[in-house]
Chain A
Amino acid sequence: MSHDAHTLAGPYALDALGAGERHRFERHLPGCATCAEQVAGLRETAARLALAAAVPPPDTLHERVMTQIDGIRQAPPPLRSPRRSLGRVRRVPGRLAAAACVMLTLVSAGAAAHWRGDARDAQELNRRITAVLAAPDARVATVRAAADAGGGTLTLVASRSGDTVLVTASGLRPLPAARTYQLWFLGSARPRPAGFLPAAGRGPVLAAGLRDARRLGVTVEPARGSSQPTGAPVVTVPLD
């Protein structure tokens, strides 16, 4: 109905559509930015026609309204509809949106199991993950690991304002129990430990303390971790 919908903007703004057409037009609006924008302007215009018709109401109205509101419970703010939330995600770069989907999938699939022991911890983790994904300066990067690491990929979402990086890996070569993938913040100073990648399918890692780091690196270390990298990184990902 796209052509028709455009021509209905005028009648709609004037409340001159029958119930059926009004309903159809309102269903069309959210998917048509041009229509929505035009309707908003025409609605404002129609409101001026109402302002021009202003008439002092009877005094009884004031009393009736003020009396009635005393007994009325106010509606809480509406929750953002899922469609609108998706709209927000759509505005960030496509790659970030894709990464966010990957992350969210991992969160739901892995994090809950990983932190099964404590629901409050899981909740807190989810809150922090959401905060990184929603940060206005969130940036995403995906890099393929070296062949000797199994050729998997590392995806991260970094937020400098949140001082946090969200990291997830897929397809990395599984390590023997005595070894682990350790994360490092790399920059001009000495590498700083940034945590460990959990076993495959176990969800993302949040690494705080980004500070002045330029890259995130992954090395293979003894299971208990190292204070400094003991080998070359199997993958490094730029943070900016």
Chain B
Amino acid sequence: MDSTDSESRAARARPAPHDDRADLAALLAQVARGDRDAFEQVYRRLAAPVYGVALRVVRDPAQAEEIAQEVLVEVWRKASHYRPDRGSATAWALTVAHRRAVDRVRSAQATRVRDQRAAVPDRDYDQVTETVHTHLDHQQVRRCLRGLTETQRESITLAYYGGYTYREVAELLNVGLAAVKTRMRDGLIRLRDCLGVQA
């Protein structure tokens, strides 16, 4: 690969900074009018996190690429459906990407014996926790995750990166449903406050 290729790839892969919320919303408005150049810029901002989160959940590059393609084409197709008053464009796209990835993992797993999986809770448990702590390229998220209690962090990473339902998480961690729901919510709230997330 020559340097131009790797530069253009790096440019396309650059994750979205967090202060460009209005910027991305404006780009989406242009995309909604069929502006291909605007979509190119949207791609540059969203492709890496869309692909990355899909990869983290499905653990298979080919499937992650399929999901990313579906989601990004969906962004092109439904740009006019984005409502800035309902949240950031980044969250809009990444919510779709994450849900697609999770749905795919669950439908694939539905064909397997669920009990067996639940009895062997190591599918990604250690690995997930570790990747979260070693590969996050976002310092702030890493720092804020460290600020959660151990049980909050486990519940959130198993659900979000592992694709488990909260019922499965409860089973994996051998705790009650109410406790898991509370950990997820309280953990996210603490994370939200630590990250200074604006709804």
Q: Which residue of A lies closest to B131 (CB)?
A: A53
Say whether, besides A48-B138, A76-B80, A11 and B51 are in contact (CB < 8 Å): no
CA distance A14 to B158 in the complex (A): 10
Point out the residues of chain A lying under 8 angstroms from B199, CB to CB: 37, 40-41, 44
CB-contact partner of A48 in B56, B141, B161, B186, under 8 A? B141
CB-contact partner of B79 in A48, A50, A61, A74, under 8 A? A74
Point out the residues of chain B lying under 8 angstroms from A40, CB to CB: 86-87, 199
- Cβ-based interface call for B119 (8 A): no
**Complex contact B137–A54 (CB within 8 A):** yes
Point out the residues of chain B lying under 8 angstroms from A69, CB to CB: 36, 39, 73, 76-77
CB-contact partner of A75 in B18, B77, B91, B189, under 8 A? B77
Which of the four size classes fits the interface of chain A?
Answer: 35 or more
| Majority SS at the chain A contact face | helix
CB-contact partner of A68 in B48, B73, B182, B184, under 8 A? B73
Q: Mark A147-172, 1 if CB is under 8 A from B, else 0.
A: 00000000000000000000000000
CA distance A17 to B90 in the complex (A): 22
Q: Mark B63-106, 1 if CB is under 8 A from A, else 0.
A: 00100110011001111110000111011001101110010000
**Complex contact A7–B178 (CB within 8 A):** yes
**Complex contact A42–B36 (CB within 8 A):** no
- Cβ-based interface call for A128 (8 A): no
10 smallest CB-CB distances across A and B, nearest first, come from A10-B185, A56-B13, A10-B184, A57-B51, A41-B199, A55-B52, A47-B91, A50-B53, A52-B138, A16-B159
Point out the residues of chain B lying under 8 angstroms from A60, CB to CB: 65
**Complex contact A18–B165 (CB within 8 A):** yes
Whole-angstrom distance from the CB of B55 to the nearest CB of chain A?
6
Interface positions of A (Cβ within 8 A of B): 7-11, 13-18, 37, 40-62, 64-66, 68-69, 72-78
Point out the residues of chain A lying under 8 angstroms from B195, CB to CB: 45, 48
CB-contact partner of A57 in B13, B81, B180, under 8 A? B13
**Complex contact B165–A16 (CB within 8 A):** yes
Whole-angstrom distance from the CB of A53 to the nearest CB of chain B?
4
Whole-angstrom distance from the CB of B68 to the nearest CB of chain A?
6
**Complex contact A50–B49 (CB within 8 A):** yes
Interface residues of B in 140-199 (CB under 8 A from A): 141-142, 156, 159-161, 163-167, 169, 178, 180-189, 191-192, 195, 197-199
